[in-house]
Amino acid sequence: MNWANRLTVSRLALTVLFVASLNSNWIYGRTAALLIFLLAGITDFVDGEIARRYGAVTNFGKLMDPLVDKIMMAAALISLVPLGGVPAWAATTVVARDFLITGLRLMATARGQILPAERLGKHKTSWQIITVIFFLVLLAARELKYAGPETVWWSRAWNEAGPVLVWITIAFTVYSGLRYAWRHRDVIAPDQ
């Protein structure tokens, strides 16, 4: 297993640590979750750079890298539901979209086709990451006693800016999923 793939697998371990930290009663657990999420993002960037720069792109990496990314994002959004950051319907929408697109790609693979990622999907992922980091920063700020629900800026950020970010994220998630499915509708068409 090359270094790029090791970093990809390490993100699975980081995901477990992230969920445990975010959902724990540990002192500074939310702050640790933020740092772990940021570290996972760095490993995602580094493993891609290593794979491209040193010609270490493997079938394992092609499959596992985007899958691990989806697992990490789903874990983050789902973990933010009981904390009041992300509504359950929003987390469900993101996870459902990812399952459906992954299913579409699997159907294409069965037909010998490869469906590449599209730019709009990357924008969707960027908004998901921004939204998760936004809520993690606010949770860490509250935990570190920099601010909290009684602080005006914190309260406005959580209750006003947060929902706006969630809606933007959901809009990109749904639109990119529908557009991707429409562009590849021939894969969905029943066999004749």
Inter-residue contact 68 to 12 (CB < 8 Å): yes
Residues 85 and 131: their CA atoms lie apart, in Å, by: 9
pLDDT digits (tens, 9 = 90+) for 118-143: 888 889 989 999 999 999 999 999 99
Residue 110 pLDDT class (50, 70, 90 cuts): confident
Report pTM: 0.90
| C-alpha torsion 11→12→17→23, nearest 10 | 120
Average confidence (pLDDT) over 102-106: 87
Residue 145: pLDDT above 70? yes
Domains of the chain, with CATH numbers?
A: 3-188 (1.20.120.1760)
Share of the chain above pLDDT 70, in %: 98
Angle between helices 29-53 and 3-22 (to 10 degrees): 170
Structure tokens at 83: 């904390």
pLDDT digits (tens, 9 = 90+) for 57-73: 877 777 788 888 899 99
Structure tokens at 105: 């790609």
Angle between helices 119-143 and 29-53 (to 10 degrees): 150
Residue 52: pLDDT above 90? no
Task: Say if residue 108 is exposed, middle or buried (CB neighbours under 10 Å; 0-12, 13-18, 19+).
Answer: middle
